[in-house]
Amino acid sequence: MARKGILTPSDDTPAKPRKQPDRLMPRGAVGALQSSLTRLQENAVQDLDPHLIDAAGVADRLGVDEQADETLRESLKTYGQQVPVLVRPHTNKPGRFEIVYGRRRVLALRDLGLPVKAMVRQLDDHALVLAQGQENTARQDLSFIEKASFAAQLDAEGYDRQTICDALSIDLPMVSRMLKVGKAFDIEFLRQIGSAPGIGRERWMKLADAIQDDDVRDRVEEMLSVTPFIETSDARFEQVLACALNRRKDPKPAEKPVPARTLRRRDGTRLADLKRSARALTLTIPMRDADGFDDWFETHAEALLQELHDRWSARPSED
């Protein structure tokens, strides 16, 4: 059985999405007023401490683009935050929040020591992944593998196919194709490759098919140690794919065993065995019946072989 590595998807039973308990709302005029206040609060933009905002949902980014992050920080520092992020009240920690979308903006503002402009909405887990997925779909910079990984993570967390369709605004056949790729790779492996924005579905499928071979999988995992030294994500993918395809060779047919040739004494008893293979010519002297000849041969082997080689070199040319 092949060892479990970074390319091997986890066999753990996927956790089901948490079901939010129904909230009992007051009825009558008080209930209507509270509902109106809740809607106003959700539509209002609030300033939040970025240190009070925790991760939630499914990670959509693979790897870190330091140059893009620095550009974002400079933009926020110069022009301020123009587009609010979306958060929800933390499900288990009063006074804290969970990010729905806008993670990079939150991290950049945290680095700058600035508050985060955010809309706060009451969302259950199902609504959270829908909002996150639809925000991702509206963005043009997410690569194919980032969307496929997002779909695979939702599937692993127990969301049904229709929810994944709704989150990514795609149809069921496309979900199946994305899941085939997204589920073929461990998330840590994908993070080492990165977003690979120039690589589409067909080339990711080619890599997914190649690593079904255990030997290829092991060699690709060994190759990952050099990927941090490859500058771009696309180049890292190309190197990994080349490694996978170069190692994926059809096995050679097994060679028929060649029987050893027995060398005999003048009296016909066995003296040694001579065996030729594709790599070597081997002389074997059985020690049980050698009567000391094995020790003598070992002492004089170099001189004997040199004499034989001289005789071979002095033979008449066959040209």
251 band by pLDDT with thresholds 50, 70 and 90: very low
Instruction: Tell me what pLDDT residue 41 has.
Output: 52
Q: pLDDT, tens digit, for every residue of 268-306? A: 888 888 888 767 888 888 877 778 888 888 888 888 888
Answer yes or no: is pLDDT of 29 > 60: no
Instruction: Tell me what pLDDT residue 255 has.
Output: 52
14 band by pLDDT with thresholds 50, 70 and 90: very low
Q: pLDDT, tens digit, for every residue of 86-140? A: 899 988 889 999 988 888 889 899 999 999 999 898 888 888 878 877 776 555 5
Instruction: Tell me what pLDDT residue 291 has.
Output: 82
Sheet holding 116-120, edge to edge: 45-48, 116-120, 85-89, 97-101, 53-54
Q: What are the residue ranges spanned by the domains of the chain?
A: 30-186, 187-252, 261-300
- Do 91 and 105 form a contact (C-beta atoms < 8 A)? no
Higher per-residue confidence, 56 vs 29: 56
CATH tag, 30-186: 3.90.1530.10
Instruction: Tell me what pLDDT residue 115 has.
Output: 93
Instruction: Tell me what pLDDT residue 131 has.
Output: 80
248 band by pLDDT with thresholds 50, 70 and 90: very low
Instruction: Tell me what pLDDT residue 157 has.
Output: 84
Instruction: Tell me what pLDDT residue 268 has.
Output: 81
pLDDT above 90 covers a percentage of the chain that reads 11
187 band by pLDDT with thresholds 50, 70 and 90: confident
Q: pLDDT, tens digit, for every residue of 152-179? A: 988 888 888 888 888 887 888 888 988 9
> Across all residues in the chain, what is the average pLDDT?
78
Instruction: Tell me what pLDDT residue 13 has.
Output: 41
Instruction: Tell me what pLDDT residue 96 has.
Output: 93
Q: pLDDT, tens digit, for every residue of 203-216? A: 999 999 998 888 88
pLDDT above 70 covers a percentage of the chain that reads 77
Q: pLDDT, tens digit, for every residue of 139-153? A: 556 788 988 888 898
Instruction: Tell me what pLDDT residue 53 has.
Output: 92
Listed residue (80, 81, 116, 125) closest to 96, CA to CA: 116
